[in-house]
Chain A
Amino acid sequence: MTALIQGATGDWEMVIGLEVHAQVTSAAKLFSGAANAFGGEPNTRVSLVDAAMPGMLPVINGYCIEQAVRTGLALKAKINLTSVFDRKNYFYPDLPQGYQISQFTQPIVGTGEVVLDMEDGTERRVGITRLHLEQDAGKSLHDQAPKLTYVDLNRSGVALMEIVSEPDIRSPEEAAAYLTKLRSILRYLGTCDGNMEEGSMRADVNVSVRRPGGALGTRCEIKNVNSIRFVQQAIVVEAARQVALIEDGGKVVQETRLFDPEAGVTRVMRSKEESHDYRYFPDPDLLPLELDADWVASIKAGLPELPDEKRARFMDGYGLSPYDASVLVAERETAEFFETVAQGRDGKVAANWVMGELFGLLNRQGRAMADSPVGPVELGGLIDLIADGTLSNRLAKEVFEEMAASGKPAAAVVEEKGLRQITDSGAIEAEVDKVIAAGPDQVAQFKAGNEKVLGWFVGRVMQATGGKANPAAVNEILRKKLSE
């Protein structure tokens, strides 16, 4: 699924790699006991360690290590039993220590992969280069006063997992699929809430262009893009910028850029541009992080069923198509909802109801799965009434809307509204006889071989029964009577 850019001089291919910063869902920060929480009064979720007071020392949060290992295992990655924390040195007002504690040469997690399920049913594999743990910086506010920047350290020291992909991505759609899949994995694990609006998941996008299959071009890094839609837009405009630049005889310069969604352009970042020389070295305040192989194995054994495994099971067990299965497993809540509905029923029917009527309803009402007005048990009850012939599909949709509005179970709605379908053949026959009698021309057409006219008879019968007649029975009786 390579999306080529048609330039003036021929086709260009995009080469994309993503660096995702995922905030670990820990109670406390990576190296201190201050709270890791969104928002709050400035500088109140800050310990002396986070503010880098003289003589303050980092002590690592074991939970964050465990979440990094769980995430690494879910990315089918190599867990490094020895890893090292390094200092990345640079000056910035929201970086109190004057360095970020990160992992450089020896990260906690090595190479792994993410499998993307594309809409056309194909699979794409994106390599993971590494995952490492590091501290977040604080926040600088530049718009509070004309001549001042305000600094809030609440976020300073929060644990991040930086997940770096190989440059295996070839289109904005693949980038979106990658981020969606990664977020899905993180949410299954509960290691990151994946909330891009609140900044708990952020992406740096590396983009370059080249002739299809040719040598790699020079890349630019677009920093801190905070939604999947913006990532796609940023890739489109940045790749287009690079193509235009090269075709005009220019050269792409390796630099860090920012995406401006309003203007729809990327701009070169000024502040950190002068000579990057981070002077990484092992943090002497911390010892090497050593993990026990047995401990890693026990963490692995305790992992939940992940989207890929669940998807395979849904395809196998419920006969779902690859695409339907990947849609249903994307969120753990959706998958659980579906499984409750599908339990002891036709999986495909359950999938159609969940992905059709239910998703439509939730979309219209802007609700999450968790507060769906129709629960999985109730939806299952509705499907049972279809299966036993009480409801036609058409009536069932009507009942579903009523269930959503009233919160009542399907059977109750059927009773109250008298929506039970007519399957009694005597009653249907009577209606059929009336319709045949009223349409001699149509009868003649049918007898002359026009099958289409059957629809006219069916429509009349349904109309006469207020839509309650069982469509299969109507068809059968009509054919029989018309052939007499």
Chain B
Amino acid sequence: MAAAALTGLTIAEARDGLLAKDFSARELAEAHIGAMEAGRGLNAFLTETPERALAGAQEADRRIAAGEARGLEGVPLGIKDLFCTEGVATTAASRILQGFTPPYESTVTRNLWDAGAVMLGKTNLDEFAMGSSNTTSHFGPVENPWRRKGDNRPLVPGGSSGGSAAAVAAHLCAGATGTDTGGSIRQPAAFCGVVGLKPTYGRCSRYGIVAFASSLDQAGPITKTVRDAAILLRHMAGFDARDSTSVEREVPDFEAALSRPLKGLRVGIPKEYRVDGMDPEIDALWQKGIGWLEEAGLEAVEIGLPHTQYALPVYYILAPAEASSNLARYDGVRYGHRAEGGGDLLEMYEATRGEGFGAEVRRRIMIGTYVLSAGYYDAYYLKAQKVRTLIARDFAAAFEAVDVILTPTAPGAAFAIGEKEDDPISMYLNDVFTVPASLAGLPGISVPAGTDGDGLPLGLQLMAPSFDEETMIAAAAAIEARAGFDGAAAAGGA
């Protein structure tokens, strides 16, 4: 099979082809290694681990021959460089983790390797996952493999899992892991025309994932199809005693949920998501999405999520507050970068952290420090936690009446690298539709549903009640089937 044909396969196709011995895991790995090298211009990978991929492929071929194939046997994956990987540099795209090689493996990646997946490399991201454009990486921005029609300016892939989304869209890997704190899986998936799924908080272990905002961080898959997202999630998820917020629940066969009947279910359309100045193309796509779900047998119901408009400011208090504390451990004492130049301990701390963190991370640490500081805690932090309760209650009430909620994933398509850089708030607005589910801990998925006038992909987001990823996946598959979105354009067209 030709290399391009192999890299074009979905995870499901690759799995089936391997089992049918249409090609070997080694061929599959080599094709992807070639694509990864050829795609270096995108800056999607920070570290390439071809030798690991090949070693993994060898073991996969042995197991397939022996009839001992596991669920993801031989599937080559990109791993967001926020997951600690034993013996492989882990940077969080920050200078402050320079030289850090974890002597341990994150639970999610451990689960993936235990299922037979192989690692192609570590993907680029916004520094410490703080960003919506992947431009805050210490190692430079990632380029979106898509281009506007007739315009060759490089576009952002979205963030923070921009490297993973770009790598999947450009067929550099069969699938990738991402993490989502306020939209960091779903928004880049939408920008890159791929599927991104953030599961319910507690579904995937956070053990070994560099923390950004602990009460929000969740790992999830970024894939070419909804089916692939279901397959990958099944092997990422699971109870882990090493994470106190991990939930003791059986992991369902998400792939089986794809064929669930949808007839008679209700989809909620939140009126508050029709924000001011919304791109008419996005609104139009949203209407199409409603139509597709109706076609699939769902009844569309208008719902109210009255506090949703406050989700972003709540998020921009809570996430930086948690981050300011989570990132205190990067002090140049035990690992990572330490500033040169003598001086006393205080100077060492301030120089190390001053030069080790980039501008956006510094900004968020300072906001977080401020909102937690004496005299401001109640006005900012406590207030935000209370509004978070109201947002979660809105969803709980809505899900009394509906089974899933449909919204756009992002208020616009991918923008050019360098745009929106001067105004942090306009950048934050990228997450306006994704942040509410993060605050409520709910699962969300972005499905590529069409393109805008410039030919850029747009995504629709589905949200579901806690731990009902299955219904959400079934509805997402219904949209996918009807949207007829062709993602292959990115792989060839980059």
Check A-B contact in the complex, CB < 8 A.
Answer: yes
Residues of A at under 8 Å CB distance from B?
48, 51-60, 87, 89, 91, 93, 96-99, 149, 151, 277, 279-281, 284-287
B165 within 8 Å of A by Cβ?
A: no
From known contacts A87-B325, A287-B244, infer whether A151 and B381 are also in contact, taking CB-CB under 8 Å: no
On whether the beta carbons of A57 and B206 are closer than 8 Å, the reply is yes
Scan residues 196-214 of chain B and give those whose CB is less than 8 A from a CB of chain A: 206-211, 213-214
From known contacts A53-B335, A55-B84, infer whether A284 and B244 are also in contact, taking CB-CB under 8 Å: no
Encoded as 1 (CB less than 8 Å from any A CB) or 0, chain B from 217 to 249 comes to 000000000000000000000000111110000
On whether the beta carbons of B331 and A277 are closer than 8 Å, the reply is no
On whether the beta carbons of B345 and A93 are closer than 8 Å, the reply is yes
A58 to B206, CA, bound (A): 11
Which chain B positions have C-beta within 8 A of A149? 345
Q: How far is the CB of B326 from chain A (nearest CB, A)?
A: 9
On whether the beta carbons of A60 and B333 are closer than 8 Å, the reply is no
B106 within 8 Å of A by Cβ?
A: yes
B284 within 8 Å of A by Cβ?
A: no
From known contacts A281-B325, A286-B244, infer whether A54 and B333 are also in contact, taking CB-CB under 8 Å: no
On whether the beta carbons of A48 and B103 are closer than 8 Å, the reply is yes
B90 within 8 Å of A by Cβ?
A: yes
Cβ contact of B209, chosen from A55, A91, A280, cutoff 8 A: A55
Can you list the 7 inter-chain pairs with the closest CB atoms, starting with the nearest?
Answer: A98-B328, A284-B215, A279-B372, A284-B214, A55-B208, A52-B329, A54-B210
A–B pairs, 22, beta carbons within 8 Å: A53-B84, A54-B329, A56-B207, A57-B206, A57-B242, A59-B242, A59-B243, A60-B244, A89-B325, A89-B328, A91-B328, A93-B333, A97-B329, A98-B331, A99-B325, A279-B374, A284-B213, A284-B214, A284-B322, A285-B214, A285-B245, A287-B244
On whether the beta carbons of B331 and A91 are closer than 8 Å, the reply is yes
Which chain B positions have C-beta within 8 A of A93? 331, 333, 345
B369 within 8 Å of A by Cβ?
A: yes
On whether the beta carbons of B106 and A55 are closer than 8 Å, the reply is yes
Q: How far is the CB of A157 from chain B (nearest CB, A)?
A: 13
Q: How far is the CB of A203 from chain B (nearest CB, A)?
A: 27
B334 within 8 Å of A by Cβ?
A: yes
From known contacts A48-B103, A99-B325, A281-B325, infer whether A59 and B210 are also in contact, taking CB-CB under 8 Å: no
On whether the beta carbons of A89 and B372 are closer than 8 Å, the reply is yes
Which chain B positions have C-beta within 8 A of A96? 329, 333-334
Q: Is the interface of A mostly helix, strand, loop or mixed?
A: loop
Q: Which residue of A lies closest to B205 (CB)?
A: A57
Q: How far is the CB of B387 from chain A (nearest CB, A)?
A: 16
Which chain B positions have C-beta within 8 A of A56? 207-208
On whether the beta carbons of A279 and B329 are closer than 8 Å, the reply is no
A49 to B333, CA, bound (A): 15
A284 to B439, CA, bound (A): 13
Which chain B positions have C-beta within 8 A of A285? 211, 214, 244-245
On whether the beta carbons of B104 and A48 are closer than 8 Å, the reply is yes
Q: How far is the CB of B94 from chain A (nearest CB, A)?
A: 10
B321 within 8 Å of A by Cβ?
A: yes
Which chain A positions have C-beta within 8 A of B316? none
On whether the beta carbons of B210 and A55 are closer than 8 Å, the reply is yes
B377 within 8 Å of A by Cβ?
A: yes
B437 within 8 Å of A by Cβ?
A: no
Q: How far is the CB of B108 from chain A (nearest CB, A)?
A: 10
Q: How far is the CB of B222 from chain A (nearest CB, A)?
A: 19
A277 to B324, CA, bound (A): 14
Q: How far is the CB of B3 from chain A (nearest CB, A)?
A: 35
B100 within 8 Å of A by Cβ?
A: yes
B310 within 8 Å of A by Cβ?
A: no
Encoded as 1 (CB less than 8 Å from any A CB) or 0, chain B from 9 to 25 comes to 00000000000000000
On whether the beta carbons of B333 and A151 are closer than 8 Å, the reply is yes
On whether the beta carbons of B328 and A97 are closer than 8 Å, the reply is yes
Q: How far is the CB of B9 from chain A (nearest CB, A)?
A: 31
On whether the beta carbons of B374 and A277 are closer than 8 Å, the reply is yes
From known contacts A99-B328, A279-B372, A287-B245, infer whether A55 and B333 are also in contact, taking CB-CB under 8 Å: no
B349 within 8 Å of A by Cβ?
A: yes
Q: Which residue of A lies closest to B381 (CB)?
A: A281
On whether the beta carbons of B328 and A277 are closer than 8 Å, the reply is no
Scan residues 82-121 of chain B and give those whose CB is less than 8 A from a CB of chain A: 83-84, 90, 92, 97, 100, 102-104, 106
Cβ contact of A279, chosen from B84, B90, B325, B333, cutoff 8 A: B325
On whether the beta carbons of B243 and A57 are closer than 8 Å, the reply is yes
Q: How far is the CB of A13 from chain B (nearest CB, A)?
A: 31
Known: A53-B102, A54-B211, A91-B349. 10 other contacts (CB 8 A): A54-B335, A59-B241, A91-B328, A93-B333, A96-B334, A97-B329, A279-B372, A279-B373, A280-B372, A285-B245
A53 to B102, CA, bound (A): 8
From known contacts A54-B102, A55-B210, A279-B369, infer whether A98 and B325 are also in contact, taking CB-CB under 8 Å: yes
Q: How far is the CB of A139 from chain B (nearest CB, A)?
A: 14
A384 to B241, CA, bound (A): 61
A97 to B326, CA, bound (A): 8
Which chain B positions have C-beta within 8 A of A52? 329, 334
Which chain B positions have C-beta within 8 A of A284? 213-215, 245, 322
Scan residues 68-87 of chain B and give those whose CB is less than 8 A from a CB of chain A: 83-84
Scan residues 296-346 of chain B and give those whose CB is less than 8 A from a CB of chain A: 321-322, 324-325, 327-329, 331, 333-335, 345
A91 to B106, CA, bound (A): 26
On whether the beta carbons of B372 and A58 are closer than 8 Å, the reply is no
On whether the beta carbons of A281 and B372 are closer than 8 Å, the reply is yes
Q: Which residue of A lies closest to B84 (CB)?
A: A55
Q: How far is the CB of B382 from chain A (nearest CB, A)?
A: 9
Encoded as 1 (CB less than 8 Å from any A CB) or 0, chain B from 140 to 153 comes to 00000000000000
Q: How far is the CB of B257 from chain A (nearest CB, A)?
A: 28
Q: Which residue, B97, B209, B242, B335, has most C-beta atoms of chain A within 10 A?
A: B242
Q: How far is the CB of B137 from chain A (nearest CB, A)?
A: 17
Q: Which residue, A97, A277, A284, has most C-beta atoms of chain B within 10 A?
A: A284
A281 to B317, CA, bound (A): 13
Which chain A positions have C-beta within 8 A of B84? 53-55
A52 to B373, CA, bound (A): 23
Cβ contact of A54, chosen from B92, B322, B325, B372, cutoff 8 A: B92
Which chain B positions have C-beta within 8 A of A281? 321-322, 325, 372, 377, 381
Which chain A positions have C-beta within 8 A of B327? 98
Which chain A positions have C-beta within 8 A of B335? 53-54
Encoded as 1 (CB less than 8 Å from any A CB) or 0, chain B from 462 to 479 comes to 000000000000000000
